[in-house]
Amino acid sequence: MVERTALTDIFLRKMRLPEKRQSDFWDGKVPGFGVRVTSSGTKTFVVMYRANGRQRRMALGRYPEITLQEARGLAQSALSKVAQGLDPQAKKDRAPDQPKDLTLFIAVVNEFVETHCKQRNRASTAAETERLLKRVFVPKWKKIALTEIRKHDVLRVIDGIIKDGKPSAANHAFAAIRKFFNWCVERGLLEVSPCLGIRRPAKNNSRDRVLTDAELSTLWSASNSQGYPFGIIFKLLALTAQRRGEVVGMVWSELDLGEGLWTIPGARTKNGSPHLVPLTPMAVEILQKLPQFSTDLVFPARGKLDRPYSGYSKGKRTLNAKADLHDWTLHDLRRTAATGMAKLGVIPHVVERVLNHSSGTFGGVAGIYNRFGYLGEMREALELWERHIKMFVSG
């Protein structure tokens, strides 16, 4: 008679190691599912079943690299196939039209980007997901088969980002790879995601950093000596309160410098809605004096005029060194402008319109029916903020 026990995490952690080579412990919940323990301490989840008249054993993974819950799920999936007359360990035939290298991680990533991200996500979201997968994970797993990637492989990459002191980057990278592996499960390329059971790497702490007038003045002076392109980008971020990607991706055809207007198409905004930004006199003057290296992009990449500038890290390091100020981010400029306008008496819903927020006053039904653009009020708010900047920059 086979002895069964209720397998739990406590039982697995505290179980005695066998004096001989190995011992099997069988689960009381899922028939045929158990754990094999060796005298060296290796604990491997297994499932026993009969296929084609033969008794077979299938290894599911080692504890704690996969959790008890994950192993039970794999066992139930295998037994479900057995009930359908299939052998879960039988080799799957590749479809005639399936590329030979589709099992490689890099090939599946390319398929995911083309068939899912670019078809179902906004262009900016698809581009960011592709960037994260190809910059963070592809270099590590380029020549590895998709089915060979385990939970400890994912954790090794994410833990490396955390050790580099980049918790936010770790969260973004984990979100991208989890999304990818979930798609693989949906497509039947994997039985279970290697990300299953892994928690968010770091706690999301919302920043509340607002630059003081003195700090903004110091950075502004440093940007004068830094010049094009990052010094100019810094100034436009401070003056317009728009997002980094929107400023850097600015296109000449979006600008009407005579009217002092910048129209950002919905394809380039976070909420997908077109956004009209009043340009203050200082912003117009800055743009009028810019060299036009590209007929399309205002800030093209060096040597690649069809791509927007992407040297944020290097540009910001240079600016930090010139200003001797390091504890800030480019997004803090947007928060600083919003806070500054509020202190100057600009009412909240006008600040929200400047920021192109779809929540707050403009969320839900209110946002649908409130079509008034507040363009005049937005211009007054940004010009008020510009006058404030001029005061401490010149003083």
Amino acid 359: pLDDT: 56
Burial of 334 (0-12, 13-18, 19+ CB in 10 A): buried
Query: 213-394: what CATH class?
Result: mainly alpha
**Domain locations along the chain:** 4-83, 100-186, 213-394
Amino acid 369: pLDDT: 40
C-beta neighbour count of 71 within 10 angstroms? 26
Sheet holding 255-256, edge to edge: 255-256, 261-264, 275-278
Amino acid 395: pLDDT: 59
What would the CATH number be for the domain defined by 100-186?
1.10.150
C-beta neighbour count of 158 within 10 angstroms? 23
Amino acid 355: pLDDT: 94
ω into 194 cis (within 30 of 0)? no
pTM of the predicted protein model: 0.56
Mutual angle of helices 312-323 and 213-226, in 10-degree steps:
110
Degrees, nearest 5: CA angle 152-313-301: 110
CB distance 293 to 309 below 8 Å: no
Amino acid 204: pLDDT: 65
Helix (H) or strand (E) holding 160: helix 151-163
Amino acid 21: pLDDT: 75
Output the CA torsion 24→27→32→36 (10° steps): -20
- The DSSP bridge pattern shows strands 43-51 and 33-38 to be antiparallel
Q: Which residues of the chain have pLDDT under 70?
A: 1-3, 91-102, 204-207, 358-373, 395
Tokens found for residue 207? 């920043």
For residue 297, give the nearest of 245, 225, 237 by alpha carbon.
Answer: 245
For residue 333, which amino acid is it?
A: L
Amino acid 366: pLDDT: 43
The answer to whether the Cα torsion of 319, 323, 325, 331 is positive or negative is: negative
Cα separations in angstroms, 391 against 86, 227, 386, 394: 77, 21, 9, 6
Q: In the chain, which ranges are E strands?
A: 4-5, 22-27, 33-38, 43-51, 54-63, 255-256, 261-264, 275-278, 300-301, 304-308
Whole-angstrom distance, CA of residue 171 vs CA of residue 350: 32
Query: 4-83: what CATH class?
Result: alpha beta
For residue 158, give the nearest of 148, 149, 166 by alpha carbon.
Answer: 166
Amino acid 95: pLDDT: 45
Longest dimension (CA), the chain: 89
Contacts of 103 (CB under 8 A, 6+ apart): 145, 146, 147
Mutual angle of helices 230-240 and 213-226, in 10-degree steps:
150
